[in-house]
Amino acid sequence: MDGISMHLFPRDLNAVYMGHKLDSSLKQYIDISVEERRAIVSGQMDDRISYWTKLHSPPAEILPLFPFARVKSPPIPKTYRNVESLIDIGNHLSGQIKRASQSLRITPFYFYLAALQTLFNRLLDVEDICIGVADANRSESSLQTIGFFLKLLSLRFNVQKNVKFSDLVAKTAQHCRTAQANMRVPFDGILDKANVVREPINTPIFQVAMNYRQGNFSKIPLGGRNLEFKDGIDAQSPYDLAFSITPNNDTTYVQIVAREDLYTREGTDTLLSAYMALLHDASGDVSKCLGSINLYDQVGIDKALSLGYGDVVDYDWPSTLTEKVDETIKRYPHDVAVKDGTSQLIYGEVAAKVNGLASIIQSQVRPGSPVAVLCEPTAS
């Protein structure tokens, strides 16, 4: 079952438990699948197939890994294990994003998706970006049917740093609406028509997925009582990275799931922190160009600067290198200072040569005169 079915099933179960009759006129999942197959064979979906074929011919380049990945190139996965990072962004940021979305006359979903494009454009310096976006893939006739209708729409975006974030959001919304009007095309059919090569190390067309989840299971009515959802285990993700956005009452949860053979938990934490900073800055001023949106919060910046400075160590050295050489000459006048394959000089001899050259220069050269120095690679 998909997410919508997970809401429909307990609803119908509660109706039966309470003695109500279910609607027997609803289409079953198998019937809808047969109709879809007939539409493809009869040519009714040729225009939709053509839309996706043109969009991905040729396909976008494989999305590169982030610098903090475990590996330089993806290995062939032997099993799908994930690491994940999750954050409650709080009612302040969630509300700020909602208000910014309202000002742009779009839903927050498009805002989060545009922010995700910006994240990859800024951190990976890529402009041709393909993201698999989860879509319910239901028409009016299948809204109440239990089954797995969910599809990932392979959306392709061209992202430029000099574009305003507000313009990117508008472009994203238009692209999504066009894609949704051409949904119901099987993914394998798109791969075949666009001649996309299937590689064992990467998922085809897109390596990043996004799911905007609406609704929650906090209270499930059953027989006059409420079941409370405690916990669940998601299916393991085959994608390099998968972003989930889950609005819940006055806040929103943002989750990043990554392949364990590609990223560590610290890596997904780093990416999530950058995404949060981007959302905060973009929602505060949607007129900013993508290249000027802040990806790092002040706390993270201060921490990085602190690590970069390191500890203060007193080496008890003179203020200049010349003074250090003079100090060494006085302390070790008879120790070897420099040597080559045939000869060597002690510090005292080096001092004598230096003083002799300085005396010659002072007696024969006026201030501002050029002095040519030819140094052969020998001790003398």
Q: Which of 308, 331, 348 is the last residue of a domain?
A: 308
Give the span between the Cα atoms of 45 and 190, in whole angstroms. 12
Amino acid 26: pLDDT: 83
Give the span between the Cα atoms of 194 and 197, in whole angstroms. 9
Is residue 256 located within the same domain as residue 208? yes
State residue 132 phi and psi, 5-degree precision. -85, 115
Is residue 134 located within the same domain as residue 247? yes
Question: pTM for this one?
Answer: 0.77
Is residue 208 located within the same domain as residue 327? no
Q: How do strand 151-158 and strand 225-227 relate by DSSP bridges? A: unpaired
Is residue 329 located within the same domain as residue 292? no
CATH of the domain at 355: 3.40.50.980
Tens of pLDDT along the chain (380 residues)?
Answer: 887 888 888 888 888 888 888 887 788 889 888 988 898 899 999 999 999 999 999 999 999 999 999 999 999 988 889 999 999 999 999 999 999 999 999 999 999 999 999 999 999 999 999 999 998 888 877 888 898 888 899 999 999 999 999 999 999 999 999 999 998 898 998 999 998 989 899 999 999 999 998 766 667 888 888 888 777 777 889 999 999 999 988 899 999 999 999 999 999 999 999 999 999 999 999 999 999 999 987 777 777 777 777 777 777 888 898 898 899 999 999 999 989 888 899 999 999 988 988 888 888 888 888 888 887 778 77
Two tokens, residue 326 = 């003079």
Is residue 66 located within the same domain as residue 80? yes
Is residue 41 located within the same domain as residue 182? yes
Angle at 252 between CA 208 and CA 136, to 5 degrees: 55
Give the span between the Cα atoms of 84 and 261, in whole angstroms. 13
Is residue 370 located within the same domain as residue 245? no
Two tokens, residue 315 = 């080496």
Is residue 262 located within the same domain as residue 319? no
Q: Do you find a cis peptide bond into 64, omega within 30 degrees of 0?
A: no
Amino acid 216: pLDDT: 62
Is residue 80 located within the same domain as residue 104? yes
Is residue 220 located within the same domain as residue 337? no
Is residue 217 located within the same domain as residue 349? no
Q: Which helix (H) or strand (E) holds 168?
A: helix 165-181
Is residue 241 located within the same domain as residue 333? no
Amino acid 296: pLDDT: 87
Amino acid 174: pLDDT: 97
Q: Which domain holds residue 323?
A: 314-380
Q: Which of 272, 288, 308 is the last residue of a domain?
A: 308
* Number of domains observed in the structure of the chain: 2
Q: Which of 274, 292, 308 is the last residue of a domain?
A: 308
Give the span between the Cα atoms of 247 and 74, in whole angstroms. 32
